[in-house]
Amino acid sequence: MTAPQRTTGRYEEVFIQSRRSQAFIPNPLPPAPPIEWHPELSERRDEANQALGRLDGIIRILPEKQLFLYQYVRKEAVLSSQIEGTQSSLKDLLMYELHAAPGAPIDDVREVSNYVAALDHGLQRIQSGSLPLSLRLLGEMHAILLRDSCGADRAPGEFRRNQVFIGSSNPPSIRFVPAPPHRIIECLDPLEKFLHDDPVRTPVLLKAALTHVQLETIHPYMDGNGRIGRLLITLLLCSEGTLSEPLLYLSLYFKQNRSEYYDRLQAVRTEGDWEGWLDFFFRGLRDTAQSAVATAEAVLDLFRRDRERLQTLGRAAGSALRVHELLQRRPIMSLPGIAENLELSWTAVDNAVRELSRLAIVREITGQKRNRLYAYDAYLDMLAEGTEPLD
């Protein structure tokens, strides 16, 4: 069914490198005319809701959900930052957090680490009730996102004061020109109201889909707009109770479908095709939620099988099981780090890691005689799926 024709904004003349161009100023949400819920689109929405419900059910019964969440948040940080051009892997980030030398440029890894800190800050502020999801909170997160990295000179926590554009500076290659800086507040004020169900109460999945496009279109910051826009989706799902924990992220889906993602965003602006965007977004929610459920189940099964193998070791089982439990929280560790965390002797740790290595549960990853690191390989592989740096 053909989507209704809409005008989703207006244009204002701006100058880019002394050349005339047309900047796009989006209309406030919700879309007018309203979304046309044809049967296929309604089915996509219902599938997404059902998949999210199953995911939240899994989250609530995870015996050690914080262990899984710790790693999953880091996977999202890597993926979301890769979309922006960083070359950091999940292993790089975990090694950076151990103060080991990563295989990626240090600025890239620091940028990913900042993403983790920004997400943690936003969730803590919402869950504690100290600040609702708002422009102020997004600004606080943006400041953390760009601190002490290659984005530190890009006005962290502040709205941009310059005209920006997407694409090459050669006019035929400019794909999109966001609103002029003096129109940003004019665009953001109604967006914040919409987040708070003004002028109409909006179901959370629809709200997440619409506000993501709107924030990307306004492009309020000099840098980090994409990462803040993707964080907004997860924050909305958690703040409105759709998910009890932040275990769903669309960055892998957007990464795997980059061309369609950008095309769908642009089609909203140029053709008013909100229905096409919603179909794409709901498919992403469904597929990502189903994948997260499958990963959680596979991880729990891996932990169980490895635990059963270690329980057959006799006297050595006690220390080996404790090391195994620690590696569930931190899948890359050094021998001194294990000894310090578990308050075990060097001999006990060394013997335990030898047994874990013999059973191929852990693998030494440096190839060095000193400062060796051990990785819980199978667990890391499950978490790292899809996080290979972009070409």
Region 197-202: what's the mean pLDDT? 95
Number of structural domains the chain divides into = 2
> Quick one: 193 and 288 in the same domain?
yes
pLDDT given at position 249: 85
> Quick one: 110 and 86 in the same domain?
yes
pLDDT given at position 1: 47
> Quick one: 223 and 315 in the same domain?
no
**Residue 170, helix vs strand vs coil:** coil
> Quick one: 333 and 312 in the same domain?
yes
pLDDT given at position 151: 58
Whole-number percent of the chain with pLDDT over 90: 62
> Quick one: 182 and 279 in the same domain?
yes
pLDDT of residue 389 exceeding 80: no
Pairwise CA distance, residues 73 & 96, whole Å: 15
Residue 363 domain boundaries? 301-384
Region 294-307: what's the mean pLDDT? 91
What one-character-per-residue DSSP string does 77-122 give? HHHHHHHTT----HHHHHHHHTTPPPSS-HHHHHHHHHHHHHHHHH
Q: Is the peptide bond before 30 cis (omega within 30 degrees of 0)?
A: yes
> Quick one: 194 and 218 in the same domain?
yes
Domain end among 245, 267, 295: 295
pLDDT band at 286 (very low <50, low <70, confident <90, very high): very high
Give me the chain's average pLDDT, please.
89
Region 277-296: what's the mean pLDDT? 94
Can you give the pTM of this predicted structure? 0.88
CATH, residue 320:
1.10.10.10
Region 363-370: what's the mean pLDDT? 87
Tell me, yes or no, whether 2 lies in a domain.
no
pLDDT given at position 10: 95
CATH, residue 278:
1.10.3290.10
pLDDT of residue 48 exceeding 50: yes
> Quick one: 148 and 271 in the same domain?
yes
> Quick one: 216 and 116 in the same domain?
yes
Domain end among 235, 269, 295: 295
pLDDT given at position 390: 56
pLDDT given at position 100: 62
Q: Give the residue with greater pLDDT, 177 vs 172.
A: 177
> Quick one: 74 and 125 in the same domain?
yes
Tell me, yes or no, whether 100 lies in a domain.
yes
> Quick one: 109 and 164 in the same domain?
yes
Pairwise CA distance, residues 240 & 235, whole Å: 8
What one-character-per-residue DSSP string does 2-43 give? PPPP---EEEEEEEETTEEEEEEEEPPSSPSSPP---HHHHH
Domain end among 295, 312, 345: 295
Which helix (H) or strand (E) covers residue 222, if one does?
A: none
pLDDT of residue 192 exceeding 70: yes
> Quick one: 358 and 221 in the same domain?
no
pLDDT of residue 244 exceeding 90: no
pLDDT tens-place string over residues 62-114 = 766 776 777 778 888 888 888 877 777 787 777 777 776 566 567 777 888 88
Tell me, yes or no, whether 94 lies in a domain.
yes
Question: Which residue carries 């004061």 as its tokens?
Answer: 161
pLDDT of residue 345 exceeding 80: yes
Tell me, yes or no, whether 4 lies in a domain.
no
> Quick one: 204 and 349 in the same domain?
no
Tell me, yes or no, whether 391 lies in a domain.
no
pLDDT of residue 308 exceeding 60: yes
